């Protein structure tokens, strides 16, 4: 575990938008949700939409953990449901106690600053304060895993709008997961269909 | 470097279809092309379409190297052009000499067996004989990088057919690369547009 301004590259948070699982807490109750961490030049930002538990926890606590995860089941499950406590470890560091995912390849804990609140969302700058690399896994890109991520994004939009365009994209990605994915990717896509009631 | 039946998981070739850059050679001339390596149960397979240099080299040499790469520029460049020799290292091992990519995170060299030739393609079983892990990089998924891969797949189809459906998909992925990708992903997408003459 590193506590001197962690090197984000080393912990898997590169330029662009990193698709992570953000863990937060409120009165010891851990929460997890898929959130993009935006890194541009020397700034790291997050945008959280009002109404989510992550928004509420960050609004109150000014703290979040970005977990780097390669497990498609966690992306789908945390999008549509609350992860039960078995998914979390609790870390105690310098008077802080916070939840991380025990399946994370790595995680980075951030303090939030310069938080701006709009009518729809909260945008905060993120300052890394702790980080941990649990295990390093080399993996060739897999279009099936990638398809699960895309389907998850479009599934949240589909649930909000009911727009058939999103459904068509979800179906396109489901075919890709079956063609290119491994068993876990296929199971994640089945789980996504179940959550959508398809 | 490992020479006793390498553990494919360790070198980044998991179940499902791994998107790798396959390097082959013919009379010392190295070639590179993006190829999916199919791993299912305990079998590893490759399907190569007639007319490609990779097909010809594997047909004659029964040997290929799958390079695990996280550089989007190499995916695009090797799809549409020949990589110049600066991209390659030459490995000499047990009477064999073969090219690998010097930017690969890892590579696995395979001998081909049970090769079947159809009117369109060659399908071979792959037996790993050498492998090398150059560096381990943890990286959160990035939808921009993934979009470059998808666009590359659809770009090859677009070049073959001229079908506007593929062009629309390429445009969708270009927007995603701009929104979520890093500088290298955006550059790769620009390069793809140049290769297509768009």
Q: Going from the N-terminus, what domains does chain A have, and what CATH number goes with each?
A: 16-133 (2.30.110.10), 143-196 (1.20.58.290)
A183 CB neighbours in chain B (<8 A) are 15
| Span B124-139, pLDDT tens digits | 999 999 999 999 999 9
Tell me how far apart the 2 most distant CA atoms of chain B are, in Å: 49
Q: Would you state the structure tokens that stand for residue B77, as one six-digit string? A: 């460049």
In this structure, what DSSP letter does residue B84 have? Answer: P
Looking at residues B157-185, what average pLDDT do you find?
97
Global pTM reads 0.96
Q: Would you state the structure tokens that stand for residue B130, as one six-digit string? A: 């050498």
CA-nearest residue to B142 within chain A is A18
Neighbours of A165 (CB within 10 A): 11
CA-nearest residue to B150 within chain A is A143
Looking at residues B161-179, what average pLDDT do you find?
97
Distance from CA of B131 to the nearest CA of A (A): 13
- pLDDT tens string, chain A, 198 residues long: the values are 544 688 999 999 999 999 999 999 998 899 999 999 999 988 999 999 999 999 999 999 999 999 999 999 999 999 999 999 999 999 999 999 999 999 999 999 999 999 999 999 999 999 999 999 999 999 999 999 999 999 999 999 999 999 999 999 999 999 999 999 999 999 999 999 999 999
B87, B32 Cβ separation under 8 angstroms = yes
Q: For B135, phi and psi rounded to 5 degrees? A: -160, 145
B179 CB neighbours in chain A (<8 A) are 17
Name the band, by pLDDT with cuts 50, 70 and 90, for residue B113: very high
Distance CA A163, CA B147 (A): 22
Distance CA B152, CA B193 (A): 10
Select from A38, A71, A134, A138 the residue whose CB has the most chain B CBs within 10 Å, as the one to mutate to test that interface.
A138
Contacting A with CB below 8 Å, chain B residues are 10-20, 36-37, 66, 68-70, 105-106, 133, 136-146, 149-150, 153, 179-183, 185
Looking at residues B28-56, what average pLDDT do you find?
95
B137 CB neighbours in chain A (<8 A) are 12, 136, 138
Q: For B116, phi and psi rounded to 5 degrees? A: -115, 135
B139 CB neighbours in chain A (<8 A) are 12, 14, 68
Residues forming beta bridges with residue A17, ordered by sequence position? A38
How many helices (H) and strands (E) are present in chain A, helices listed first? 5, 8
Distance CA B11, CA B196 (A): 33
Cβ partners under 8 Å of residue B41, min gap 6: none
Residues forming beta bridges with residue B20, ordered by sequence position? B35
């Amino acid at each position: 575990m590193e506590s001197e301004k962690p090197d984000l590259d080393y912990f898997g948070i590169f330029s662009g938008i990193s698709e992570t699982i953000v863990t937060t807490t409120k009165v010891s109750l851990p929460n997890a949700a898929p959130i993009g961490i935006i890194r541009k030049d020397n700034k790291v930002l997050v945008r959280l939409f009002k109404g989510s538990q992550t928004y509420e926890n960050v609004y109150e606590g000014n703290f979040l953990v970005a977990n780097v995860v390669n497990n498609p089941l966690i992306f789908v499950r945390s999008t549509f449901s609350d992860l039960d406590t078995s998914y979390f470890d609790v870390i105690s560091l310098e008077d802080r106690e916070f939840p991380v995912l025990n399946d994370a390849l790595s995680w980075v804990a951030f303090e939030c600053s310069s938080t701006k609140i709009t009518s729809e969302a909260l945008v905060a700058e993120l300052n890394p304060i702790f980080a941990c690399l649990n295990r390093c896994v080399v993996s060739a890109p897999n279009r099936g895993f990638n398809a699960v991520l895309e389907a998850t994004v479009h599934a949240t939009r589909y649930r909000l709008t009911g727009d058939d365009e999103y459904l068509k994209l979800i179906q396109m990605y489901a075919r890709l997961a079956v063609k290119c994915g491994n068993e876990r990717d296929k199971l994640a896509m089945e789980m996504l269909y179940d959550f959508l009631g398809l």
